């Protein structure tokens, strides 16, 4: 396993967000965290990156307690891309991606050929070489997100955490980013953990799904094994029908509710 939590409790002040959580993130696979707003998905992701200290329990990264390791040591094994990152005005894509190599710099070890190769490999892998000298703030939403992903790739970690990487992107750019992450996992065996709101895309891209509800894990496993009407009803309070995606065969959620039927007026789909 890449990451494991044991009896993990996370709190903001006196309010527990995650309680006695036990999960295992499979190595070399894509894991997607799902759950309603405010359930603790982003908080859990931040704790995995050592940005939030547990109130109780532990997080193991490749078998070692993350709290007992130095920040630089952890940064060589795990990278995180938070939601909606902002680059300083005028920063070029190349300058941004170079920041991914900071964990490897010191007074004794300055910029090296290895650092340079890692940066250009990341730019190439994300199809951002042609934009290397462009300022980050001049890019489209999809290009900008690819630039940030390139920075995390340059960090050279086998595990990458992403908090809602498709937020504010249109459908075309959402698929572009998720396809990129899928290819990185397939080609380089990177372990990818991300938070997604779209259940259908989560089921399509994830090897492993973790549904969070009531401050803990409601279910975890392959989407085909755990995604059903009961899970969506219990976790999201949403009545729905689960069918097979006609293109991929993965679970697809069709919510009940009001809407227009083809060639007719409005109606309400009844909860079956």
Looking up residue 48, the CATH number of its domain turns out to be 3.40.50.300
Q: How many domains does the chain have?
A: 2
Q: 169-199 in b/e burial notation, b at 16+ Cβ within 10 A?
A: beeebbbbbbebbbebbeeeebbbbbbbebb
Task: Please write the tens of the pLDDT for every residue from 208-266.
Answer: 999 999 889 999 999 999 999 999 999 999 999 999 999 999 999 999 998 888 876 66
> CA-CA distance, 183 to 84, in Å (whole number)?
22
Q: Is 258 within a domain?
A: no
pLDDT band with cut points at 50, 70 and 90 for residue 109: confident
Residues 208/25, Cβ–Cβ less than 8 Å: yes
Tell how far CA 181 is from the center of its chain: 9
> CA-CA distance, 27 to 23, in Å (whole number)?
13
Q: Is 250 within a domain?
A: no
Residues in the chain: 272
Asked if residue 162 and residue 55 are part of one domain, the reply reads: yes
Q: Is 84 within a domain?
A: no
Asked if residue 93 and residue 138 are part of one domain, the reply reads: yes
Asked if residue 187 and residue 65 are part of one domain, the reply reads: yes
Q: Is 262 within a domain?
A: no
Residue 131: strand, helix, or coil = helix
Q: Is 249 within a domain?
A: no
Last residue of a domain, one of 135, 156, 177: 156
pTM of the model: 0.92
Please give the residue range of the domain that contains residue 117: 89-156
Asked if residue 193 and residue 164 are part of one domain, the reply reads: yes
> CA-CA distance, 270 to 56, in Å (whole number)?
44
């Amino acid at each position: 396993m890449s990451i494991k939590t044991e009896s993990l409790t996370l709190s903001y002040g006196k309010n527990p967000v995650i309680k006695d959580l036990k999960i295992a993130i499979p190595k070399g696979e894509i894991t997607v965290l799902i759950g309603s707003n405010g359930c603790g998905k982003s908080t859990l992701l931040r704790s995995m990156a050592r940005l939030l200290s547990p109130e109780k329990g532990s997080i193991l990264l490749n078998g070692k307690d993350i709290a007992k390791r130095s920040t630089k040591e952890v940064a060589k094994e795990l990278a995180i891309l938070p939601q909606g990152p902002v680059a300083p005005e005028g920063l070029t894509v190349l300058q941004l991606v170079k920041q991914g190599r900071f964990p490897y710099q010191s007074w004794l070890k300055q910029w090296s050929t290895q650092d340079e190769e890692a940066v250009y490999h990341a730019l190439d892998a994300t199809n951002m070489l042609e934009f290397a000298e462009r300022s980050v703030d001049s890019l489209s939403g999809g290009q900008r997100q690819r630039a940030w992903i390139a920075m995390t790739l340059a960090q050279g970690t086998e595990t990458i955490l992403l908090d809602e990487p498709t937020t504010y992107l249109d459908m075309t750019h959402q698929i572009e980013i998720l396809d990129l992450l899928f290819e990185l996992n397939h080609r380089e065996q990177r372990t990818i953990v991300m938070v997604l709101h779209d259940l259908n895309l989560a089921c399509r891209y994830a090897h492993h799904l973790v549904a969070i509800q009531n401050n803990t894990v409601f279910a975890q496993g392959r989407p085909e094994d755990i995604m059903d009407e009961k899970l969506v009803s219990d976790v999201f309070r949403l009545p729905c029908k689960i069918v097979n995606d006609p293109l991929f065969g993965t679970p697809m959620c069709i919510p009940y509710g009001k809407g227009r039927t083809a060639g007719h007026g409005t109606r309400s789909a009844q909860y079956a």
